Amino acid sequence: MWISRFTQWCECKMCSIKPVRELYSYAYKKVVMEEIDLAELNKADNVLFIGGGAIPYSAMYISEYCSKVTVLDCDKCCATKAQQLIKSLDLKNIDVKYINGKHFDFSSYSIIFVPLQAEPKGEILKSIAETAPKDAKILIRSPKPSSKCYTTLDNAPIKLKKFRSLNQLTFDKTFLCSVKDITL
């Protein structure tokens, strides 16, 4: 998907410029706070964020409210830049890994974030269903109907029940479900 590649390229270029990085991340703060509230995230949670990018701003905000955040990214440049950024900011409870979410063991996570650009969603959800605790919460961002660049959740193997309406450029809802709601 070209928009994902373009976003990755932009983040890799911008992450070392502090004012640009802060402006870029500011746009997500309110959304992430809504998602934290939706998931009832707390200090005991061990959170996984799939596809954090070079500036894992969502994970950085989330890390203030939980014990640990692990960020996965399947783009080597993004993962490397994110690791450097996290280290430079001395954020000790964030770990960044270079790996695709469809090949990951989710067994030690209580909350799993699946953002808009995480692909392929069906394979990622299958891996979550196979390895995550059955009571783990999943937050999944849903694209706006007008955002044709992203995979919709219409055919996703998951029962989507509870959600929070959000007004972002590319997505308008974040759904909350549990591993038990994945229907394979």
Domain boundaries, position 18: 2-181
Q: What is the pLDDT of residues 6-61, one digit of tens each?
A: 665 666 566 566 666 677 667 778 889 999 999 999 999 999 999 988 889 899 99
Distance CA 116, CA 152 (A): 9
- Domain CATH for 111: 3.40.50.150
- Count of the separate structural domains present in the chain: 1
pLDDT computed for residue 3 by the predictor: 45
How do beta strands 171-178 and 162-165 pair? antiparallel
* pTM for the whole structure: 0.86
User: Residue 105: is its pLDDT beyond 60?
Assistant: yes
- Torsion over CA of 58, 43, 157 and 181, rounded to 10 degrees? -150
Greater confidence, 98 or 14?
Answer: 98
Q: What is the pLDDT of residues 137-175, one digit of tens each?
A: 999 998 887 777 777 777 777 887 788 888 787 788 899
